[in-house]
Amino acid sequence: MAEEAIRVEHVAKAYRLGPQGPRYRTLRDTLAEATSQTLHTLLGRHNGRVRQATGRDTVWALHDVSFTVAQGEVVGIIGRNGAGKSTLLKLLAHITAPSRGRVGVRGRVGALLEVGTGFHPELTGRDNIFLAGAVLGMRRAEIARQFEQIVAFAEVERFIDTPVKHYSSGMYMRLAFAVAAHLEPEILLVDEVLAVGDAEFQKRCLGKMQDVGGEGRTVLFVSHNMPAILRLCPRVILLDGGRLVADGPAAAVTATYLRANQRLGAERCWPDLATAPGNHIARLRAVRVLDAAGACTASVDIQQPFAIELEYWNLKAGEPLIANIHLYDAQGTYLFASHDNLEPTWGCRPRPAGLYRSLCTIPGNFLNSGRITVHAAVGRWNPHAIHAWVHDAVAFDVIDTGGVRGEYPGPWAGAIRPYLEWGTRLAAPLDSVPATAAVSEVRR
């Protein structure tokens, strides 16, 4: 067992929320606080601490978090937005102090919490390499030694003496990451650096991260990118609401995360017939997103089939109802519509009055990852009519666990990501191709 490089002991972190938002304190607050503190001190009730954060204005970003990391371990940190991941990294990087507990690190720490830290737009690429390097904790000699490599990695040779404010955002990003990537700390903290840049750049960042992990450095990596986490980190820590809820092998913890990621929005119910959306012919009672086991879920595994369920009342006997759903991605692209018109029992047939339940199964390896919004409707064809229609009825996240992407690490372009069958065969070995044709092919 390697020696410990990081110790987090019962750490809690509170942020104050002021009346004008979370940031500034007013002079009046402080004066009032000082007065009450003085009173407490005079009355002997002072608790001896510097201004304990308490009361209703306080938000706890972390609650009693403890764990240790051994030297050379690569650990992923996952959790929803606001789970406390970034706060944890800031505590490890010594940028901010904990409210309770303590955080210990052993060795030189490098924190990449943002691409472009220390960059100044007015300075040239060359100047910025030295400036940002110094800000990240590199020594001048170290930067000078790696200067050529940094420039080559960023591919900005021609613009190295141009102020970076004239760079394209891609060039800026590449240069900024190149500087950070050449930092050689013993403990590396990385926060979502891969969330920016184009696919090619993200791929290179991941490659560089993998190299770093292989060099025996201790790495803590915060990301929403599950495939990246699974590739890079043997061990994963899951935070939720500021608490450490799971710590263990990557596959197990990411599975826990997917299960736990159920939130409001995956189910909508209108139990009261009188107020449910619809008209005198049909009204919607419920819309749900269900996983393969039939449980309501707000996040579905990209590789697993799932279903969308519609519950609705038919109020007019003999009405040939058609239930339908319409799926939109986060960019608002209309992905597809699906109707139960071909359903074997009731599709396009007159139905007796009553409560109906229609289930549409959507296969795994079909949607792309991201947030999907569902519009739900009940209507009829010939003549066409819409009886009930709910815009943005439910929403869910398609969680990227790999699947179709295989070994490809970058974002997967396109509105959907279907698993399609390919057949590739060697049509003719090279030696049977006329020699001249083969040569011209090679030379092109």
The only residue of 104, 294, 318, 350 in contact with other proteins, by rule CB under 8 A = 104
Quick one: 35 or 52, whose CB is closer to other proteins?
A: 52
What 3-state class would DSSP assign to 13? strand
The helix/strand/coil state of 126 is helix
Specify the residue, 116 or 411, whose C-beta has the smaller distance to other proteins. Answer: 116
Distance CA 232, CA 205 (A): 12
Q: How far is the CB of 27 from other proteins (least distance, A)?
A: 6
Interaction with other proteins in 120-149: which residues (CB under 8 A)?
Answer: 120, 122-123, 127, 130-131, 134-137, 139-142
Window 205-264: residues binding other proteins (CB under 8 A): 215-217
* 375 is an interface residue for other proteins by CB under 8 A: no
Task: Give, in order, the Cα–Cα distances in Å from 39 to each of 25, 33, 34, 48.
Answer: 21, 10, 9, 13
Q: Which are the contacts of 46, defined by CB distance < 8 A and separation ≥ 6? A: 37, 40
User: Hey, what are 59's tokens?
Assistant: 């938000």
CB of 117 to other proteins, least distance (A): 5
- Sign for the CA dihedral angle at 207, 226, 398, 330 comes to negative
Mapped onto helix, strand or coil, the DSSP state of residue 254 is helix
Residues 129, 143: contact at Cβ < 8 Å? yes
| 401 lies in the site for other proteins, by CB under 8 A | no
Instruction: Give 397's strand partners.
Output: 299, 371
- CA nearest to 72, candidates 137, 4, 7, 8: 4
Cβ-based nearer residue to other proteins, 21 or 429: 21
CB of 202 to other proteins, least distance (A): 20
Q: Which stretch binds other proteins (CB under 8 A): 108-116, 262-270, 329-337, 356-364?
A: 108-116
Nearer to other proteins, 98 or 242 (CB): 98
- The pair of structure tokens assigned to 215 is 């060099």
Cβ neighbours around 195 below 10 Å, total: 13
Residue 388: strand pairing partners = 378
Positive or negative, the Cα torsion across 132, 135, 136, 141?
A: positive
Is the Cβ of residue 70 or residue 292 nearer to other proteins in the bound state?
70
Interaction mask 55-94, other proteins, x per CB under 8 A: ----------------xx-----------------xxxxx
Residue 118 or 370 with smaller CB distance to other proteins? 118
Q: How far is CA 308 from CA 119, 351, 375, 389, in A?
A: 48, 21, 11, 15
In the bound state with other proteins, the residue whose beta carbon lies nearer, of 98 and 409, is 98
Stretch that binds other proteins, among 73-81, 115-123, 245-253, 330-338 (CB under 8 A): 115-123
Site for other proteins in 21-40 (CB under 8 A): 23-25, 27, 30
Q: How many residues bind other proteins (CB under 8 A)?
A: 58
Contact predicate 261/291, CB 8 Å? no
Using CB under 8 A, pick the residue from 114, 247, 267, 343 that binds other proteins.
114
* H or E element, residue 188: strand 187-191
Closest separation in Å from C-beta 142 to other proteins: 6
Smallest gap, in angstroms, from Cβ of residue 8 to other proteins? 10
Q: Which is nearer to other proteins, 122 or 272 (CB)?
A: 122
- Residue with token string 């001249």: 436
Among 228, 213, 196, residue whose Cα is nearest residue 401: 228
Site for other proteins in 154-213 (CB under 8 A): 184, 186
Smallest gap, in angstroms, from Cβ of residue 399 to other proteins?
A: 29
Strands 306-314 and 282-290, bridge-based pairing: antiparallel
Task: Please identify, using beta-carbon distances, which residue of 40 and 108 lies nearer to other proteins.
Answer: 108
Take residue 400 and report the two structure tokens written for it.
């990227």
Closest to other proteins by CB, 142 vs 343, is: 142
SS3 content of the chain, % helix, strand, coil (to 5): 25, 35, 40
Sequence-distant (≥ 6) Cβ neighbours of residue 96 within 8 angstroms:
13, 87, 90
Q: Among 3, 272, 407, 431, which residue interacts with other proteins (rule: CB under 8 A)?
A: 3
CB of 20 to other proteins, least distance (A): 11
Binding residues (CB under 8 A) for other proteins: these are 3, 7, 15-16, 23-25, 27, 30, 49-51, 71-72, 90-109, 111, 113-114, 117-118, 120, 122-123, 127, 130-131, 134-137, 139-142, 184, 186, 215-217
